[in-house]
Amino acid sequence: MGSNGIIPEMRKIWRLGDKFEARMPHHDGIKALWETKWKFPNNINDGYGDAYTEAFFPTAEKLTQQGDELAKYKNLTSASELYLRAACLYRIARFPYITMSPVVNSPIKWTAWEAQKEVYMKAGGLWEDKVEEVVVPFLDKAGRDRDEIPVYVRIPNTGIKEGRKAPVVVLFTGLDGYRPDNTQRTEEFLRRGWACVVVEIPGTADCPADPSDPTSPDRLWTSLLNWMATEECFDMEKVMVWGLSCGGYYAVRIAHTHKDRLRGVIAQGAGTHYFFTKEWLEKVDGHEYPFLLGPAISLKHGYDSFDEYKEKALKKFSLLENGILQKPSTRLLLINGLDDGLMPIEDSLLPFEYGTPKEARFFPNALHMGYPMANGSVYPWMESVMVG
C-alpha cells in the first residue's frame, strides 16, 4: 500500500514475456509483410484497401476459366485443383476481414467473398463426398439477428449407402477463415466416417447472429442443432464442436451453454477473458497477425472503433465476467501455442480454474493455434471422445 493509503495498480505479467512488448516487422505495411512473409506487386501497402483486393482478381479469374475448360472435357481432378487455387486467391483477396452485420464493411472484399464461394462450390461439386450448401432457418432469432444460417455440409458416402447415421463435427470458423477454407479438415472428418457442418461465427461473413449481442450465439447454435436433429443423416448422440481461433471463444461458450447436446468440444487458440482487456489489446496489433487486428476485431463485435472496443468489450464479452466459465461443461479440450500473440495463453488456462475439469495440450515455442503440432493432438482426442 502506498504512503497515501491507495493500493498501487499492479501490472499483469504475461506468459508471453518480452514478446508481448515486441512488434513484428511485417506490421510496417504490406511491403514489409511481403518482404518478410509474402511478395506483392504494384507497391500496394494497405491490406484494407480496394487496390490490394483487386490485384488478385485477374489471376483468380483466369484459373477459374481454365478449370471450366477442364471440367467441360471431364478432366475433373485437374479442374478441381484449379478451382481450389482460385478459391485460395479469393480468400487472400478478401483479407483481413469481411462482415455484413449490420452492413457490408467492404463491397470489393465482399465481391471476392462471393467469387470464392462460387468457385469453391464448383470444386466441391466434383468430389465423391460433395459439399452441399444448406440454408438453415434461424428459428430462434431475436433482435437484430437475420433469418437464415448458411452452412456447408459434407456426408460420408459410405454411411449414406449403408443407411447409417454419421457422427458429426460442427466446425466453427474464425475471424478471417470461413466455410470454403476448411477442405483439409473436412477430408479428415470424412476419412474417419464423420459428417461435418461448417458454420461462420457472429460478426463474420454470412453469419446472421447479431455481433453486438453476446447471447446471440446461444440462439444460433440452438437453431442449428435443432435443425441437425431433424436430418436423418446425423447421429445426434455423437456431435462434436471444434472452434478455430476466434471460433475457439464460441467453442468454450457452447461447451457450457449446450453441454448436454455435445459429446465433446475443442477450443483452439481461444480468447476467453484476458484477450478483451485493454492492456492486451494495446499491444495485439504488433504480434503475428499479418494485418492490423484492431479494426477487424472491433467490427466483428459490433463496435465502430478500436478505442470503443478496448474500453467496453471486456464487461460485455468476457466468459468470466458473464458467468459462463463458472457453469459445468461437456468434455472440453483447450489447445494452443504458448507463444500465442493474438489470444493470450492465459485465456486457455483460465477455464481450468472454474466449473468442471478440462483437458489441454499447449506447445512451447509455438504461435497462435499451436501449429504445426496441434493436429497431432486434436484428431486422436476427437477419435477417443467420439467412440467413447
Confirm if 32 and 18 have CB atoms less than 8 A apart: no
Contacts of 4 (CB under 8 A, 6+ apart): none
Tell me whether residue 340 is one of the annotated catalytic residues: yes
Amino acid at position 353, single letter: E
Tell me whether residue 145 is one of the annotated catalytic residues: no
pLDDT, residue 25, reads 67
49, HSE (Cβ side, Cα atoms, 13 Å): 9
Catalytic pick from 245, 298, 329, 377?
A: 245
Catalytic pick from 26, 273, 301, 368?
A: 368
Confirm if 268 and 335 have CB atoms less than 8 A apart: yes
User: pLDDT 10s digit of each residue in the chain, 388 long?
Assistant: 455 555 555 567 777 776 677 776 666 665 666 565 555 555 666 677 888 899 999 999 999 999 999 999 989 999 999 999 999 999 999 998 999 887 888 999 999 999 999 999 999 999 999 999 999 999 999 999 999 999 999 999 865 656 689 999 999 999 999 999 999 999 999 999 999 999 999 999 999 999 999 999 999 999 999 999 999 999 999 999 999 999 999 999 999 999 999 999 999 999 999 999 999 999 888 777 878 889 999 999 999 999 999 999 999 999 999 999 999 999 999 999 999 989 999 999 999 999 999 999 999 999 999 999 999 999 999 999 998 7
Overall residue count recorded for the chain in this entry: 388
Among the listed residues 337, 133, 186, the one whose alpha carbon sits nearest the alpha carbon of residue 248: 337
d(CA 339, CA 16) in angstroms, rounded, equals 6
Residue burial 104-140, b: 16+ Cβ < 10 Å; e: rest: ebbebbbbbbebbbebbbbbbebbebebeeeebebee
Cell of 362: 499447449
Tell me whether residue 348 is one of the annotated catalytic residues: no
Catalytic pick from 301, 340, 348, 377?
A: 340
d(CA 87, CA 72) in angstroms, rounded, equals 19
The residue assigned the cell 447479431 is 210
| Helix segments in the chain, DSSP class H | 30-36, 50-54, 57-72, 76-94, 107-124, 157-161, 183-191, 216-230, 246-257, 278-284, 293-300, 306-317, 346-349, 375-387
Amino acid at position 120, single letter: Y
Mind listing the domains of the chain with CATH numbers? 25-127 (1.20.1440.110), 128-388 (3.40.50.1820)
Confirm if 156 and 194 have CB atoms less than 8 A apart: yes
